[in-house]
Structure 1
Amino acid sequence: MTDPVLEVDEPTGSPTAIALVLHGGRANGTGGTNARQLAVVRMRPFVRSLRRAGADRGLVVARLRYQVRGWNGASASPVPDVRWALDRLAERFPGLPTALVGHSMGGRAAVYAGGHPTVTAVVGLAPWIEPGDPFTQLARRRLLFVHGDLDRMTSPRQSATFLRESARIAASSTYVSVRRERHAMLRRATLWHELATGFVLAVMCNRPPEETVGRESANVLGKALGGETSLVV
């Protein structure tokens, strides 16, 4: 088993907030991860987008590779790795708030680790959510889930249900349905990148979406940040 790998890009100015990017995986698997795996590669454009938009606003952009590829039932294998990474980031950048940005299994890991004291926002991209997954740890967090309506790998319906339940305790909670999009986030890739980036920069660095993303994404995010809980784009 390999150790988790945490890579960190610091901003050009003084750090003010952190975005930790989490890749997907498999339901089961104890083999190690590597930088060439598709689930890891898929998150590179999100890292670049966050880094480009946030460098001059003090956003630290970190990405984690888990020890193993699978969730592995009750072991929830990625979750201790995420908490380990959050602890390391808190030691390196004390007092800074963190946003978790996770795809698929990474979205589920973000939900489970979202109770860490440094976490203030969670972005789930086509997150893998199962009935009974906990949400009380997300109290007072800002939540954004984005899910393709044609996704057959993870359930859009379960994501929406989870957000409705968590809305009772979250600081804010918005579900965005992306029309004609599947799990890989490829057909409307720019939209996915911009929704994640614009949301993180808005809630973590107080930067309006129209300054960081295109018009369509900024319009969606304006509604989300204005309190709308369910959107279709």
Structure 2
Amino acid sequence: MDAPAAPEALSSGAEVRFSGPQGRLAVVCANGGQAAQVPGTWSASIEWLVRRLAPSFADVRFAEVRYRVKSWKRLDLCVEDAVAAVMAAGAERTLLLGFSMGGAVCVGAAAHPSVVGVLGLAPWLPEQLDLAPLRGRRLDVLHGALDRWLPGIPGVSPTVSRRGYERARRMGVEGSYAVIPGAVHGVALRAPSGRLVTLPRAARWAELVAEHVSRFRGSA
């Protein structure tokens, strides 16, 4: 896979990496987070997916966001960073892709006029999250069947995303929900060397994400 593009500064102070030329369509990708208020990092799972999928979608611009602070205690800042990336992508139609906490971030950013939907990968959709920005958009969710939170090991139970998805459906939001057998929290990890190490069922994650991106492209 090709090396990631050089990062660019966003108006919010965060950073973004683009794959593909600016055009009518963009997929803006938001990373997970944690309780501690620490500087943002690039998501190994999102990076692996973008490097794998971008060559097959030459007319879609992929954007990977690195938050200023990757913490759910500053979800407001993360949402600002995602919106800034949507604006920088400059597309007529945008699909937001959020991993873990990035699911909540994408919901918060969904009110931007160009956004047509949110694709959550093991998304954190807590009960207190306001889902109103999803009105008029889609919410599609993919979640690993073996995903769990354990002491010292990050994770989001599928029951959390399922409850959030059902809340959205009761609001009239269209979408889909799929569980991936044998999959855990995420698609890849980053080794100390910087190399990406795939997690179980990574190829299935990529296949399903590609299907959603294809539908997004086909609806344009």
Q: Report the TM-score when normalising by structure 1.
A: 0.75
Q: How does 1:76-225 map to 2 (within 5 A)?
A: 76-90=76-90, 93=91, 96-152=92-148, 153-170=155-172, 172-185=174-187, 186-206=199-219
Deviations for 1:135-167, whole angstroms, at most 9, x for unmatched residues? 121012122111112211212112111111212
More helix by share: 1
Q: Report the TM-score when normalising by structure 2.
A: 0.79
- CA distance 1:168–1:76, change in 2 (3 Å): same
Match of 1:70 in 2: 71
TM-fit CA distance, 1:206: 4.5
2:88 partner amino acid: R
RMSD across aligned positions (CA)? 2.1
The question of whether the paired residues in 2 share the 8 Å contact of 1:122 and 1:143 is answered with yes
Residue 63 (structure 2) pairs with residue 17 (structure 1): no
Deviations for 1:98-143, whole angstroms, at most 9, x for unmatched residues? 0011111111211111121111011100011211211121012122
TM-fit CA distance, 1:42: 2.2
TM-fit CA distance, 1:171: 5.2
Residue 43 (structure 2) pairs with residue 33 (structure 1): no
* Aligned structure 1 segments of 4 or more residues deviating by more than 6 angstroms: none
Q: Which runs of 5+ in 1 are unaligned?
A: 208-233
Match of 1:53 in 2: 56
Match of 2:151 in 1: none
**Percentage identity across aligned positions?**
29
Q: Which runs of 5+ in 2 are unaligned?
A: 1-11, 149-154, 188-198
Q: Aligned with 2:34: secondary structure? A: coil
